């Protein structure tokens, strides 16, 4: 039995998505920029996909752009905020993804802008008071980049509250919605946000394709120059298979959202219940976090560092919350931000509607044989 509990990292392709892409590969090979029938067919598939995505997030079709992944959107928007929209301060939370952290640090180095990191508490909840003070001090010179749901510990931020604070103070609001697109409802009319991003491979679509929502009153110069595709924002022949596969995956995620949520929530809860059979287990993050993410902290001990290795040997794919630096295993910046005790081992199990209760039971039995307390 091979078990996949790493769905926050990436997800398998849905058969329906494969079918959509396969059909296009066989029959719809025209260049969308060509004016003949083959080209028009390809163009119409792409525009139908754009409409599907716009509908799901309640945007207008002119606000949706196709990209290669969310990292591209995040880099693009933060860079343009500094280089074209005159923002001199980037405000982000201590638990943002590296594609925000590293982009902000790069912009600081290159343009000498200021960065402000908003702390979180031991469960990962944002300090809204610190954010408010930072916004009052920086106002219209700031761009805020705060994620919707965290990829490691699953904590969910209050987007309406953040948006309100940004608008009150004239800051731009950019939000990393990678872990929540297709899992929680996102309505850009309800939450006033300037830019969000999705990566298809997180919601059972293909890798190498994503989308950017860019609020229609924001006008920026192109990501790439060339043949003027994507309304001159991102030149280059479109990845039609990826685009249509992504739209199919998102449409299904949207239609099946509550059904999938119920199933995954039950799996996660069963995992939590059964973890009580192990000694000295703690759960990182907040009880009301993302339903597909469970971050478990195992006690320190001689076997702690081998948990990931042993899980893999036992046929279970999960994810570690640490990174190797100069040969030493260090907790990730997210775990450090919530004060996860050094020495303990954090493992992220992330679920999908394809997982089963039996897989959880099997994993718990395996964990009983490899966790440190039993040494
Ligand atoms: N943001 C979050 C919260 C993520 O989980 C990820 C991927 O792990 C990314 C951004 C980057 O996504 P991609 O690598 O698809 O660009």
Residue 286 and residue 203 share a domain: no
Q: How many domains does the chain fold into?
A: 2
Residue 320 and residue 239 share a domain: no
Q: Which of 188, 222, 254 is the last residue of a domain?
A: 254
Q: What is the CATH number of the domain that holds 317?
A: 3.90.1150.10
Residue 242 and residue 273 share a domain: no
> Which atom number of ligand 1 is nearest to the Cα of residue 69?
16
Q: What is the largest CA-CA distance in the chain?
A: 70
Residue 280 and residue 182 share a domain: no
**Which of 151, 319, 333 gets mutated to test ligand 1 (max ligand atoms within 8 A of its CB)?**
151
Cα–ligand 1 centroid distance for 181 (angstroms): 11
Residue 305: Cβ-neighbour burial (10 angstroms; 0-12, 13-18, 19+): middle
**Does ligand 1 lie within 6 Å of residue 71's CB atom?**
yes
**Does ligand 1 lie within 6 Å of residue 97's CB atom?**
yes
Residue 333 and residue 307 share a domain: yes
Cα–ligand 1 centroid distance for 187 (angstroms): 20
Q: Which of 202, 236, 254 is the last residue of a domain?
A: 254
Residue 370 has pLDDT above 60, yes or no: yes
**Does ligand 1 lie within 6 Å of residue 70's CB atom?**
yes
| Domain encompassing residue 268 | 3-11+256-373
For residue 324, indicate whether it is catalytic. Answer: yes
Residue 213 and residue 269 share a domain: no
Cα–ligand 1 centroid distance for 276 (angstroms): 31
- The whole-angstrom distance between residue 157's C-alpha and the CA centroid of its chain comes to 13
Quickly state the pLDDT bin for 106 (edges 50, 70, 90): very high
Residue 237 and residue 263 share a domain: no
pLDDT at position 375, please? 44
> Considering the chain, what is the average pLDDT of its residues?
95
Q: What is the CATH number of the domain that holds 91?
A: 3.40.640.10
Residue 249 and residue 106 share a domain: yes
Residue 135 and residue 225 share a domain: yes
pLDDT at position 351, please? 98
Residue 307: Cβ-neighbour burial (10 angstroms; 0-12, 13-18, 19+): buried
* Residue 293 CA: distances (Å) to CA of 221, 250, 280, 353: 37, 19, 20, 13
> Which atom number of ligand 1 is nearest to the Cα of residue 74?
10
pLDDT at position 151, please? 97
pLDDT at position 326, please? 59
Cα–ligand 1 centroid distance for 97 (angstroms): 7
What would the pLDDT profile of 235-276 be if each residue is shown by its tens digit?
999 999 999 999 999 999 999 999 999 999 999 999 999 999
């Amino acid at each position: 039995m091979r078990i996949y509990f790493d769905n926050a990292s990436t997800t398998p392709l849905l058969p329906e998505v494969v079918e959509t892409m396969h059909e296009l590969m066989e029959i719809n090979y025209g260049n969308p920029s060509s004016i003949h029938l083959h080209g028009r067919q390809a163009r119409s598939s792409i525009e139908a996909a754009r409409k599907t995505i716009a509908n799901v997030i309640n945007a207008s079709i002119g606000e949706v752009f196709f990209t290669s992944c969310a990292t591209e959107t995040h880099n693009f928007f933060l860079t343009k905020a500094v280089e074209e929209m005159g923002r001199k301060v980037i405000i982000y939370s201590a638990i943002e993804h590296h594609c925000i952290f590293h982009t902000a640090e790069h912009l600081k180095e290159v343009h000498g802008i200021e960065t402000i990191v908003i702390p979180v508490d031991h469960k990962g909840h944002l300090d809204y008071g610190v954010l408010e003070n930072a916004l009052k001090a920086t106002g219209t010179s700031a761009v805020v980049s705060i994620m919707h749901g965290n990829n490691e510990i699953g904590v969910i931020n209050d987007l309406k509250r953040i948006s309100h604070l940004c608008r009150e103070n004239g800051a731009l609001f950019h939000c990393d919605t990678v872990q929540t697109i297709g899992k929680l409802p996102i309505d850009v009319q309800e939450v006033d946000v300037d830019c969000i991003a999705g990566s298809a491979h997180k919601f059972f679509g293909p890798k190498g394709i994503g989308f950017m929502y860019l609020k229609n009153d924001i006008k920026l110069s192109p990501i790439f120059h060339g043949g003027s595709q994507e309304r001159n924002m991102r030149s280059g022949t479109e990845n039609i298979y990826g685009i249509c596969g992504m739209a199919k995956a998102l449409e299904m995620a949207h239609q099946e959202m509550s059904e999938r949520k119920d199933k995954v929530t039950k799996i996660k809860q069963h995992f939590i219940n059964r973890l009580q059979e192990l000694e000295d287990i703690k759960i990182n993050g907040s009880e009301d976090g993302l339903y597909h993410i469970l971050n478990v902290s195992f006690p320190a001990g001689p076997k702690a560092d081998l948990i990931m290795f042993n899980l893999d040997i036992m046929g279970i794919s999960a994810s570690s919350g640490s990174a190797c630096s100069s040969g030493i295993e260090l907790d990730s910046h997210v775990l450090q931000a919530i004060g996860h005790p050094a020495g303990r081992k954090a493992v992220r199990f992330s679920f999908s509607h394809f997982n089963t209760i039996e897989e959880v039971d099997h994993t718990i039995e395996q964990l009983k044989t490899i966790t440190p307390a039993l040494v």
